[in-house]
Amino acid sequence: MSKFIPVIGLEIHVQLATKSKMFCSCPTDYIGVKPNSHVCPVCLGLPGSLPVINEKAIMLAIKTALAMRCRVNTHTIFHRKHYFYPDLPKAYQISQYDLPLAVDGHVEVSADDGSVQKIRIQRLHLEEDAGKLVHSAASGRLMGAEYSLVDYNRAGVPLMEIVTHPDITSPRQAREFVSRLRQLVRYLGVSDGDMEAGSLRVDANISIMEPGGKYGDKVEVKNMNSLRALERALEYEYQRQSELKSEGKAIVRETRHWDDGANVTISSRSKEEAEDYRYFPDPDLPPLVVDERLIVQLCKELPELPWEVRDRFMSDYGLPLEEAEILTERRDVALFMDELIKHGAPVKLASNWIKTEILRVLNEKNISVEELPIQTAEIAKLLSLVDKGDLSTTAAKEAFSVMLEKAVTVEEAVNVLGLSAGRVTGHELEIVVNKVLSENADVVADIKAGKDTKGKKLKFLQGIVMRETKGQADPKEVQSLIMSKI
């Protein structure tokens, strides 16, 4: 089956970070609120109601388009896309058809051979979201449900749809593309990009190319709510289509849903074509005209993009690729790294501290760097003390915990813990070692008798000394001193 090449294109819906809906002033914070409480005549499609375009949504979409090097169309229109599902109160969706907001961009990913490959962006357009169906079945699925209810709080929420050309040649590459896009919208402040919450949704079109360049019929795959699910679903579908083709069977052009529990795609319905939606211009909305001066202004306001920050961390700070990618996954973390360096923290130490301590705290508390109760300069000072040898890594972690808990400075945290200023060394350390050895004479005797072949007893003694010195001794010096006395 390796003779078949996967051909993948993605359709990605991104929920935009606006306070109000796409065509009305209803709030967009629908999660956890009473069903059908954030609705109005406009988003319910009641007769006589008139939609008004959300300016903020337009701005966010243009910023994203510019970051992907798309051409922004200064003249575009909204269409009505008709389909009769109960989650669409109007029985149509306001979207854009043949005149999208932006076209012809690209995002760079790594090819399977490690080179850089451009995934072309076919179009970026705006539309409104549908409502949410709530099924009575215990599983929450339609199958087995006695009835379904509709919550229209989500109906009308602004969506940005990004459609790629079928340039993606592996499930891994599809995962990387979506990961980069999610990273981008977060850097731009366009969306939180939360796939599990539905803020970023991915549909994939996949076919296989036979020897000689002949393309097979494409299949649409839906219901992939994580990067891992996306990759696994495409791997399964590639395998399924390859097996069918190898057996001389036809591949049906259809929509299939990914079942994450069973690890299979399941046939859902035949694939609709554009004509099935009976598009026509929305008569209630005027053409959208984007001033070129606005495009220039938004282009100037673009922040340093994540892959640009990654490359700078590698060139300026000498960080390896994997480390730079971890530090630039989140914009707040990348900015924090820059601030630590500006305040004098050593690069390697700052990088390690972010990976081990800062990211742990951010994930545990579900907060951003801005919400840390410690000034960046204080953390840089803490790392400088470690670099100078005035604090051990263990003691620094204890001090950091106190700084977090009590929102105090490094000096105050050190005083709270009773840590000495500088390393415990020389005669002071010798006193501690002598005390530990005398209190653990049996362990010393075992070591002398050669009963510590794995070195566990030596490490035991070393640990006690480190505890007695509150982590302020050099572990290598402690070990050397213990061995010399034994």
Confidence of residue 417 (pLDDT cuts 50, 70, 90): confident
pLDDT in tens, 240-254: 999 999 888 989 899
Residue 152's closest CA among 136, 130, 127? 130
List beta partners, residue 256.
221, 267
Q: Residue 79 to residues 128, 187, 223, 455: CA-CA distances in angstroms?
A: 11, 30, 26, 74
Residue 469 banded pLDDT, cuts 50, 70, 90: confident
Rounded Cα distance between 395 and 18, Å, is 44
Q: Which residue has the higher pLDDT, 99 or 271?
A: 99
pLDDT tens per residue, range 273-319: 656 789 999 999 999 999 999 999 999 999 999 999 999 999 999 99
- For tokens 């300016």, name the residue: 55
Say yes or no to pLDDT of 1 above 60.
no
Q: Which distant-in-sequence residues (6+ apart) come within 8 Å of 95 by Cβ?
A: 78, 79, 80, 81, 125, 126, 127, 128, 161
Give the separation between CA 14 and CA 61, rounded to whole angstroms. 10
Q: How many residues does the chain have?
A: 486
Tokens coding 270: 């035949």
pLDDT digits (tens, 9 = 90+) for 382-410: 999 889 878 878 888 989 999 999 999 99
pLDDT band at 195 (very low <50, low <70, confident <90, very high): very high
Tell me, what's the pLDDT at 419?
Answer: 65
Task: Answer yes or no: are the C-beta atoms of 116 and 110 closer than 8 Å.
Answer: yes
- Short-list 91, 159, 149, CA closest to 125: 159
Tokens of 429: 């350390």
For residue 272, pLDDT beyond 90: no
- Say how many C-beta atoms besides its own lie within 10 A of residue 217's C-beta: 13
Sign of the CA dihedral running 300, 306, 308, 309 = positive
Q: Answer for the pair 306, 179: CB distance below 8 angstroms, yes or no.
A: no
Q: What is the pLDDT of residues 333-368, one digit of tens each?
A: 999 999 999 999 999 999 999 999 999 999 999 999
Is 173 a residue whose pLDDT tops 90? yes
pLDDT-wise least confident of 163-172, 253-262, 471-480: 471-480
Residue 23 clears pLDDT 60, i.e. is over it = yes
pLDDT in tens, 106-153: 999 988 888 899 999 999 999 999 999 989 887 777 778 899 999 999
Task: Measure Cα distances from 384 to 83, 246, 348, 350 in Å.
Answer: 62, 63, 11, 9
H-assigned helices in 207-284: 227-246
Mean pLDDT of 191-198: 92
Residue type, 244: L
470: three-class secondary structure by DSSP:
coil
Confidence band of 436 (pLDDT split at 50, 70, 90): confident
The answer to whether 419 and 390 have CB atoms below 8 angstroms apart is no
Q: Does this model's pTM top 0.85?
A: no
CA 392 to chain centre: 33
Mean pLDDT of the chain: 90
The per-residue pLDDT for 275 is 66
The two three-digit tokens of residue 248, written as one number: 């001389």
Angle between helices 441-448 and 426-439 (to 10 degrees): 90
